[in-house]
Amino acid sequence: MVVLAASIVSKSGKVLVSRQFVDMSRMRIEGLLAAFPKLIGTGKQHTYVETENVRYVYQPIEALYLLLVTNKQSNILEDLETLRLLSKLVPEYSMSLDEEGICKTAFELIFAFDEVISLGHKENVTVAQVKQYCEMESHEEKLHKLVLQSKINETKDVMKRKASEIDKSKIEKNRGDKGGFMSLQSMGSGRIESKFSDMSISSSEGGFGSGSGFGLTTDVDSFSSKSKGRQPSSAAAPPKGLGMKLGKTQRTNQFLESLKAEGEVILDEVQPKAGLSKSAAPPPTDPITLTVEEKLNVTLRRDGGMNNFDVQGQLSLQILNQDDGLIQVQIETGGNPGILFKTHPNMNKELFANENILGLKDPNRPFPTGDAAGVGLLKWRMQSADESMVPLTINCWPSVSGNETYVSIEYEASSFFDLRNVVISVPLPALREAPSVRQIDGEWRYDSRNSILEWSILLIDNSNRSGSMEFVVPPADSSAFFPISVRFSAASTYSDLKVANVLPLRGGPPPKFSQRTQLVTENYQVV
């Protein structure tokens, strides 16, 4: 069975859709389809017509013909089965079986015909399978849309940054032209007679608008203007001959308010809040909270090997109520011989060495309360040259091919830890557009301002101990992709230190306590 073409033609002979499955010239297929209406006899029940070279197998569909052009050696029973399947597909894609409806869905019909017939031979498929195949997502199309969206987002970022730079330059220009904040002729209906000697406009906490990312320090020396006209209001001008420092005084506030009333833009001084740069831990709810935290400092070499591996840990105690201060803490260490523990100078070292109990030298002295950061009880440190101790290794393979650089990055995680919120930051050369990410296990984000590609994996556990990413950038030296920085956290530690119990010194039941354990990266790089 060889199907030469599948077509839909009108009863007047107009070709609406035609799909050829073998090589043939346009002139030949047009000639075959043009001869078909002349060969159909009237009043006959046959569904095929033969000529010297080809056979026409057709089926009427309202005012149209669904037509298969085959060679004469083709099995007509299989041709009829193919025709029957195509006749079921046409109404699935075309809502109206007329010329307009067929022309609107021409490409959908061609795609469906391709799923049924391959190189002239019928595929063993059903109507449902054909619809499923045609509706399947295209990876290339999805990737194209992602790249397009990333370009749009990058353009928006550039637009916002340019607008911000223009606004800043306007503000600086106005300050230079107007002697600081404003044109003093705009205050009141007359002119001002005043003199500002050694005026200092400064900010000790990052400057005006420190929240917007820049500071401002301006010294205005002996600014004066001659009086011509009536005096301005007392709220707008300081007394003659007095220096004035813009601070948090009532007179300063009146001065700034008058500027705002004249339409000037005044950036209020914003005091940065301490601790915003650090991820704030949730406030404790239990009377006693013990926190085990280890900070990891690792430097790996790009060609393999390790330059530095250092773990520093601390056990902190936080007590909400002063009544719970008379306690001792019993701990269990993991028995790692490479870890060196060091107690606080106020701790009873003999008690800790013999019984693993942390208590003050003076048992009648309570632990301090109310410290949000907690009181450090115990510190430890571990250093190693064993690469198997590293929780996450990164391999980066840049290779230049033609006018492109292909960068393949893979990670391998040890089975000791389940890593959370993993972010692998890869520096890139200066790019005009976002890199083309071809394959990735996880999510990615391009920071155009710092030219950094961030690869994010929410969780690395036994299901994904290894993963890879591949992206393409213009030609660049391999050193441009280093150093690679890594951030993550884990709910277990190298020391495996645990709080076994909290012992009250006044007797009674043990107080309620909670334990927090985390491993975080402080400086983790591949250089």
CA distance 10 to 65: 6
pLDDT of 194 reads: 42
Confidence of residue 44 (pLDDT cuts 50, 70, 90): low
Mean pLDDT computed over every residue of the chain: 79
Mention every residue, 6+ apart, whose C-beta is less than 8 A from residue 178: 184
42-56 mean pLDDT = 77
Q: What is the pLDDT of residue 256?
A: 62
Please write the tens of the pLDDT for every residue from 345-403: 989 998 988 888 999 988 888 888 877 778 889 999 999 888 889 999 999 999 988 88
Asked whether the predicted pLDDT for residue 410 surpasses 80, the reply is: yes
CB-based contact 238:255 (threshold 8 Å): yes
pLDDT greater at residue 202 or residue 299: 299
Residue type for position 86: L
- At residue 117, the 3 state secondary structure works out as strand
- SS3 state of residue 67: strand
Q: What would the mean pLDDT of 477-502 be, rounded to a whole number? A: 92
* CATH topology agreement for domains 3-135 and 285-526: no
Residue 273 in this model has a pLDDT that exceeds 60: no
B/e letters for 271-280, b = 16+ CB within 10 Å, e = fewer, are eeeeeeeeee
Instruction: Quickly state the pLDDT bin for 129 (edges 50, 70, 90).
Output: confident
**Side chain identity, residue 181:** F
Q: What is the rounded end-to-end Cα distance, in angstroms, of the chain?
A: 64
- Number of C-beta neighbours around residue 367 at 10 A: 22
Q: Are 112 and 93 in contact (CB under 8 A)?
A: yes
Q: Which residues contact 329 (CB under 8 A, 6 or more apart)?
A: 290, 315, 317, 357, 358, 359, 377, 499, 501, 502, 503
Provide the residue ranges of all domains of the chain, joining segments of one domain with +. Answer: 3-135, 285-526
Of all residues in the chain, the percent with pLDDT exceeding 90 is 29
Strands 117-118 and 121-122: antiparallel
Closest CA to 375 of 389, 384, 365: 365
- The answer to whether 10 and 63 are in contact (CB under 8 A) is yes
| Alpha carbons 365 and 359: distance in angstroms, whole number | 10
CATH code for residues 285-526:
2.60.40.1170
For the cut 50, the answer to whether the pLDDT of residue 269 exceeds it is no
Cβ contact 99:110 at 8 Å:
no
ω into 504 cis (within 30 of 0): no
259 φ/ψ angles, rounded to the nearest 5 degrees: -65, -45
Rounded Cα–Cα distance for residues 326 and 506 (Å): 7
DSSP string, 395-452: EEEEEEETTEEEEEEEEEE-TT--EEEEEEEEE----SS--EEEEESSEEEEETTTTE
Where does the pLDDT of residue 187 fall: very low under 50, low under 70, confident under 90, or very high at 90 and above? very low
| Residue 456 near residue 168, CB atoms below 8 Å | no
pLDDT beyond 60 at 158:
yes
Exposed e or buried b per residue across 169-180, where buried means at least 16 C-beta atoms within 10 angstroms of its C-beta: eebeebbeeebb
d(CA 22, CA 120): 7
What's the rounded Cα separation, in Å, for the pair 238 and 229? Answer: 17
How many Cα atoms sit within 13 Å of 140 on the Cβ side?
0
194-243 pLDDT tens trace: 444 444 443 334 444 434 444 444 443 433 333 344 444 444 444 444 44
pLDDT at site 517: 93
pLDDT of 479 strictly over 80: yes
Q: What is the DSSP track for 220-241?
A: E-SEEE---SS---TTTSPPTT
Nearest to 523 by CA among 491, 496, 484, 495: 484
- Going by CATH, does the domain composed of 3-135 fall within 3.30.450.60? yes
Q: What is the pLDDT of residue 125?
A: 87
Q: What are the strands, taking DSSP E only, across 119-267?
A: 121-122, 194-196, 199-201, 218-220, 223-225
3-state secondary structure of 216: coil
- Provide the token pair at 251: 């007179």
Question: Please, which contacts does 133-139 make with residues 24 or more away whose CB atoms are closer than 8 Å?
Answer: 134/108
Number of helices followed by number of strands (H, E) in the chain: 8, 27
pTM of the model: 0.48
Spatial distance between the Cα atoms of 252 and 265, rounded to a whole number of angstroms: 16
- What is the model's pLDDT at position 209? 40
The pLDDT of residue 263 is 53
